[in-house]
Amino acid sequence: MAEKDQQASMIKEIQIRFDRKVKENEISLLEYWKEQLDRVTAMKPEGVAALQSQVTKIAEMMANRIRMLKRDQ
C-alpha cells in the first residue's frame, strides 16, 4: 500500500512539474509574439500598405514556426 502511495505522490509531483513547464513555455511564447506586435505598434508607418506588410511578415513568421513544430512531431 505504501508503494502505491509513493507512486501516486511521484506521479502527482511529475504532473505539477510538467504543468509548470508548459505554463512557462506558453508565457515565453506569448512574450515573444507580443514583442513582435509591440514593434509594429511602435512603428510610424506611412500608410496602410506598410502596416499590412509588417503584419503579413509576422503572420508568415508564425506560420513558419507552426510548420517547424508540426514537422518535429
Largest CA distance in the chain: 71
Mean pLDDT of 59-69: 90
> pLDDT of 12-49, one tens digit each?
999 999 999 999 999 999 999 999 889 888 887 788 88
| 35 vs 72: CA distance, rounded Å | 25
Domain residue limits, the chain: 2-71
What pLDDT is recorded for position 10?
Answer: 94
**Residue 40 pLDDT:** 86
> Global pTM?
0.68
Which of the four pLDDT bands, split at 50, 70 and 90, describes residue 9? very high
Decide if 27 contacts 34 (C-beta within 8 A).
no
> Are 14 and 43 in contact, with CB atoms under 8 Å apart?
no
* Backbone CA torsion sign across 37, 39, 43, 47: negative
